[in-house]
Amino acid sequence: MRPVTPQRQFLYDAGVVASILAAAVITYLCLSWGIYDVFHYFYLIPIILIAFARPNLSIYGTVLVGWMYLALVLLIGLPTLQLYLFATVWFYIFVSVGVVISTYSQLYRKEGERSCGAYYNSQAGAFRFDKSSLAIIDANYKFAAILKYECRDLMKKSLPDFFSDAAALEEFLSQVRDRRRVRDIEAGLLAGDGTIRWTMVSAADCDDASFICTVVDITDTKLSHEALTQANRKLNLMNNITRHDILNQLTALIGFLEISRLETKDPELLRYITKEELAANVIRSQILFTRDYQEVGVHSPKWQDVAETVSLAIATIDLHNVGVSLDLRKVQVFADPLLEKVFSNLVTNSLNHGEKVTQITIRAVKNADGIDLIVEDNGVGVPPDAKEKIFRREYFKHTGFGLFLSRDILGITGLTIVENGVPGSGARFVIHAPNGMFRIGSGIVPA
């Protein structure tokens, strides 16, 4: 429903006045010729027109028309009691009809104004197109601004004029026609200046003849994302090259240190060589950590089957005859693609620091606020004063960067990790996935 322009309102008002005058003339002629059973119905026309043209004033207009009718009958008609009673009944009929139509007309107009305001004043572009011809039927100012057109010029266009890719248009139309309602379809639309504007288009069945669409301009966001992706790609390439060169130099350095160790028997020099080798290996560990950390958050999170992820993680680890049992059933969590690295780190941590580990168990326990993925072993456990420190970057000299990296990987989607095992009885790492970040099949053990 378009806003009523002053010109259109003038035409509505002119129609009301013309219908009132026509009804008055017909009344005069009918009463003059002695015809008393026809002219009453002509007053319904101005009553309906008033309700449509001026909903807020239609009750007053209806009463005015009714009084005009009553006055004409009393002044021109034969002065009989039957005619007066008949005219009075019609007067009340007119007023009643006017009140009812006015009430519904005001409700309709208010609803139309709300819809109209949301449509034409929306910060999102909006337009309607014909189902058969694909011609643009209507569009708001925002849509015109997005595509750099005047609104009136859009009415001369059809949907194919905006889709530079015919295959993309066919795919869009296929989805709209099959599903009757689609949301957030990315589409490149051809603007009036020849450029491509990237948009998110949603569409719904409007009526039997048309679809209504909303359009959000994402061009700047998409270009910024592409520029950022390109910059990250170049930065990662430079990091990879630099890291590779540094590791090569470190390998050479460690090799020369080993040769130096073989070439000397001086205890003092050997002590220095040992410290130099330690420093070189620490640098190597830090460089390797940057390789892993560089991938955190680069790729979009996704739903992952925990059992499959754990199986992939332990497949590349030498378990040294340590048994691993899984009780994960059909648990899936929404996490960074590096989730596999998390379980690899936890299993490796048990193997490297558990000392007497013979069994590692990984299981799922559902509770009221989410689900816990528990990785526990039967080793020496973690001392009470180290349970939080092991997740800190500066603690790498004892456990490496694996646990620090794991906490960051999990934190991307709101997952948390703590260690709450009993010292002497084994380490127990608990990954908590809150509600909404996991989904399960049957067979999960409740807490």
Q: pLDDT tens digit string along 303-313? A: 999 999 999 99
Task: Give the model's pLDDT for residue 4.
Answer: 58
Q: Which fold has domain 125-217?
A: Beta-Lactamase (3.30.450)
User: 113-121, long-range: CB within 8 Å, 24+ apart, which pairs?
Assistant: 113/1, 115/1, 116/1, 116/2, 116/3, 120/2, 120/3
The pLDDT of residue 435 is 92
Specify the pLDDT at position 208: 72
Q: Identify the pLDDT of residue 330.
A: 87
141-157: b or e for each residue (b if 16 or more CB lie within 10 Å)?
ebbbebbebeeeebeeb
pLDDT in tens, 10-21: 887 888 888 888
Which pLDDT value is given to residue 8?
A: 74
**Averaged over 260-287, what is the pLDDT?**
88
Higher pLDDT, 329 or 342: 342
- 327-335: average pLDDT: 91
Classify residue 272 by burial, with Cβ atoms within 10 Å: 0-12, 13-18, 19+.
middle
Higher pLDDT, 371 or 207: 371
Kindly state the average pLDDT of the residues 69-94. 79
- Residue 175 has, within 13 A of its CA and on its CB side, a CA count of 16
pLDDT of residue 209 exceeding 90 = no
Which residue spans within 19-154 are E strands per DSSP? 125-130, 136-139
The 10s digit of each residue's pLDDT in 378-415 is: 999 999 988 888 888 766 444 567 888 899 899 999 99
CATH class of domain segment(s) 302-446: alpha beta
Tell me the one-letter amino acid at 379: G
Average pLDDT over residues 331-356: 91
Residues in Cβ contact with 274 at an 8 Å cutoff, skipping those fewer than 6 apart:
none
Q: Which pLDDT does position 110 carry in this prediction?
A: 63
- The pTM (predicted TM-score) of the whole model is 0.52
Chain mean position to CA 313: 32
In the 8-state DSSP scheme, what is residue 355?
Answer: S
Q: Give residue 361's pLDDT.
A: 95
Distance separating alpha carbons of residues 365 and 445, to the nearest angstrom: 5
Q: What share of the chain is helix, strand, coil (3-state, %, to 5)?
A: 55, 20, 25
Strands (DSSP E) contained in 62-101 are none
Report residue 93's pLDDT band, with 50, 70 and 90 as the boundaries.
Answer: confident
**pLDDT at residue number 333:** 95
Reported as a pLDDT band with limits 50, 70 and 90, residue 113 is low
The residue type found at 184 is: D
Lowest mean pLDDT segment, chosen from 28-32, 193-197, 289-293:
289-293
Q: Which helix (H) or strand (E) holds 252?
A: helix 219-263
Residues 6+ apart with CB under 8 A from 50: 16, 57, 58, 61, 62, 65, 98
Cβ atoms of 432 and 416 closer than 8 Å: yes
Strand arrangement, sheet containing 438-439 = 302-305, 332-335, 438-439
Average pLDDT over residues 210-237: 85
- Beta pairing partners, 129: 136, 211
Helix (H) or strand (E) holding 171: helix 166-179
Strand partners, 24: none
Percent of the chain whose pLDDT exceeds 90 = 29
Tokens of 155: 């009415």
Closest CA to 94 of 37, 46, 55, 22: 46
Task: Give percent of the chain with pLDDT exceeding 70.
Answer: 92
User: Is the pLDDT confidence value at 329 over 60?
Assistant: yes
pLDDT band at 225 (very low <50, low <70, confident <90, very high): confident
Do the first three CATH levels of 125-217 and 302-446 match, i.e. the same topology? no
Residues 323-336: what's their mean pLDDT? 91
Q: How is the chain split into domains, by residue range?
A: 6-120, 125-217, 222-293, 302-446
- Can you name the residues that pair with 373 across neighbouring β-strands? 364, 431
Report the amino acid identity of residue 411.
G
